Amino acid sequence: IFHLFLHTRKKMVLLLLLIICQCAINSIKTHRVSKPNIILLMADDLGIGDLGCYGNRTLRTPNIDRLAEEGVTLTQHIAASPLCTPSRAAFLTGRYPIRSGMAAFSRVGVFLFSASSGGLPSGEITFAKLLKQEGYATALIGKWHLGMNCESSNDFCHHPLSHGFDYFYGLPVTNLRDCKPGQGSVFLKGVQKSLVILIQITGIALVSLATVQYIGLLKVPFQALGYFLLIITISLVVLIFFFYHFRHLNCFLMRDHEIIQQPLSYENLTQRLTKEAMQFIVRNTDTPFLLVLSYLHVHTALYASENFKGKSKHGLYGDAVEEMDWSVGQVLDVLEKHNLNDKTLVYFTSDQGAHVEEISSAGEIHGGYNGIYKGGKSTNWEGGIRVPGLLRWPGVVQAGANIDEPTSNMDIFPTIAKLAGAQLPSDRVIDGHDLLPLLQGKVTRSKHEFLFHYCNAYLNAVRWHPGNSESVWKVFFFTPNFSPEDSNGCYDYHVCFCHGGFVTRHDPPLLFDLSRDPEEKVPLTPETESRFYEILGVVQQAVDNHTRSLHAVPNQLSWDNLLWKPWLQLCCSSLFQSCYCDYESGGSPLQAHLG
C-alpha cells in the first residue's frame, strides 16, 4: 500500500508539473497575443503574379517571399474593391465602402485632386483609432488617397491625423503620370474632349444668338452676350491654369499637417519612405506600435532609384517591384536588429490587382501581372480583386502554410483590433472577420460564406463558399465590355467602367465555380450544372439580406465632392510662386525655388 501511495503521489506530482508547464506556455502565448506590434505593408496596383511566392520566376522578391516562408500565404485573399480609394476605405474600417459613402455612382471612382471636399467620413472608425485608444503609437507612411479637407484649406477633416494616426509622412492623394514630367497624362484625352465640346457648344450658342438677333426673332442685349463670353473665358482660364499647374497643386509630400515638398520629387523617394518607417519603429521599440507603410510602387508614374533602375528583367515596372522588395527587407531587418520579430505581426498585400491597361507612350508595359487570373484593376474578375495576402508572426502564426479559403482585406480590422485588446464597434456592421484562428490552424474554414463584389456603388458579383462544399461559386450580374473585345482589359478607356454602355448585364447571371475554373473561362449553364437555379436562388437571398443591412449615407464621391475647389487648395508658398517649396532639401521655400 505504501509503495502504491508513493507511485500515485509521483504521478500526481508529474501531472501537477505538466499542468503548471501548460499554464506557463498558455500564459506566454497569451502574452504574445496581447498588444503585439502591427506592421501593414500595402503595395499599389501590384499583381498577384508579380511575386516569387505566388509563382513568378523572373522578378526577384526575396524579402516578400521570406514573409511567405516564415508565415502564412493566403491564396484567395480578396480586395473589397478593385479601385484604390474604396479598397483603402474598406481596409481601414473593415466595412464595404458602400457603407461609408466611399463608393461612386458616377464614372470616377477615386479622388483625383487634393482640393476635393470628399473623403473618409469622420464618423467612420478606423483600426488606427481603436489601437490608439489602446495605447499604440500609430503612423501612416506613404499614400493616403482618402481625402483631406471639407470646408477650408486647414480643417483637415479627412486627414490621416483625424483618423487615428499620430504621425503622417506621405502623399495626401496618389501617384499619377501627371506627377512626373515626361510620363504623360491620365487627363489629357479627357480634357481635350471636354475642351472641344465646350468650344463647340460656345460656338453654336454664339452663332444661334447672332442669327436670331439678325432676323429679329429675339433681341439679345450686348451686355448679356458680354457676360456669357466672360463666363466662358474665365472657365477656360481656370481649366487651363489648373491642368498646367496640376503637378504643383496635387502632387506633394506632407509631414503631419505641413507640406514639405511641393511638387513631389521622385529622387530616392522609396528610400525616404523606408527611412521614415524604420525611424518610427526605432522610436517605439518599448511601446506597442501600428505602422502602415503604404507604398507608391507600382502605380504609375513608375520610378526607381539608380541602384535599381535597369536591373530587373521587366523594365521600369520590374525595377519598381524589386525596389519595393528591398524596402520590405529593410523593415524586416530593423525588426530583427531590435529583437522585435516575435512581438510583431507583419502583413503584406496590394490594394487591388495589376493595372493591365498601363502602357507607356513608348509602348513599354507599365502594368503588372495577375497570373492566371482574368482582368485587372477596376474589374471584379479575379485579376482585379485577388491580391497577395502574407502574414508573419513567429511562434504564433503557422510558418510556410498556404490557405486557400476566401479572405478579405477587411479582415485586418477585426484581427488587429482583437490582438490589441480593443472592442469592436457595436453600433455598425463590421464585414471583416478575425483571421487568427485560420492563421493558427485552429479552424480550416473561412467565416466568409458570402463576399460581395462592388464595381463602384453597383453590386457586380457575389462569391459563395458553402460550408458543406469545396466549391466557390461566383455569380456575375454584369461584366465590363473589354475594348478591344478580344483583349483582357478596357484599353480604349484606360480603365473599365461600371454602368451604361460600358457593361453587359446578364439574365440569368453568369455562374462560375472558382474551385474548378479559377480563370473564369467557361460560365456554367443549367445543362452543365444541375444546381444552377438553386445556387442563383441562394445567392439572391444573400443579396437581399445584405441589401437590407445597408443604410443611406452621404456620397463622398459625388461630382460635387470630387471636383477641384480652389478654396480647399493646399499651397506651401503662394500661387504666384507656383506653390513651390522643398523642405526635404533644407532652406526656405523661396530659397529652394531660387536655388
List, by residue number, the catalytic residues.
84, 145
CA 187-190-196 angle, 5° bins: 130
Residues whose CB falls within 8 Å of the CB of residue 56, separated by 6 or more in sequence, listed in order = 49, 50, 369
Residue among 374, 473, 301 nearest 82 (CA): 374
Task: Name the maximum alpha-carbon separation found in the chain.
Answer: 129
CA distance 172 to 44: 14
Using the structure block, give the residue that is written with the C-alpha cell 480643417: 155
**DSSP code per residue over 577-590:** GTS-EEGGGSS-HH
**Alpha-carbon torsion angle 481, 486, 491, 493, nearest 10:** -30
Q: Which residues pair with 450 in a beta bridge?
A: 464
- Phi-psi label, residue 197: left if phi above 0, alpha if psi -120 to 50, beta otherwise: alpha
Residue 73 CB neighbours (<10 A) = 21
Report the half-sphere exposure of 83 (CA within 13 A, side-chain side).
27
**Rounded to an integer, what is the distance from CA 204 to the centroid of its chain?**
44
Strand-pairing partners, residue 39, are 291, 346
Continuous segment of H or E residues that includes residue 91: helix 84-93
Closest by CA to 430, choosing from 449, 410, 406, is: 410
**Which residue pairs, CB below 8 angstroms and at least 24 apart, start in 446-451?**
446/405, 446/406, 446/407, 448/405, 448/406, 448/407, 448/408, 449/542, 450/539, 450/542, 450/546, 451/78, 451/406, 451/408
Tell me the three cell numbers of residue 166: 499620430
Beta carbons within 10 angstroms of residue 431's beta carbon:
22
How many Å apart are CA 350 and CA 359, to the nearest integer? 20
Show the DSSP H helices in 482-565 as ranges.
Answer: 532-548, 559-562
Helix/strand/coil (H, E, C) string of 223-259?
HHHHHHHHHHHHHHHHHHHHHHCHHHHHCCEEECCEE
Nearest to 593 by CA among 337, 285, 262: 262
Angle at 587 between CA 586 and CA 589, to 5 degrees: 110
Amino acid identity of residue 5, one-letter, is F
Neighbours of 187 (CB within 10 A): 16
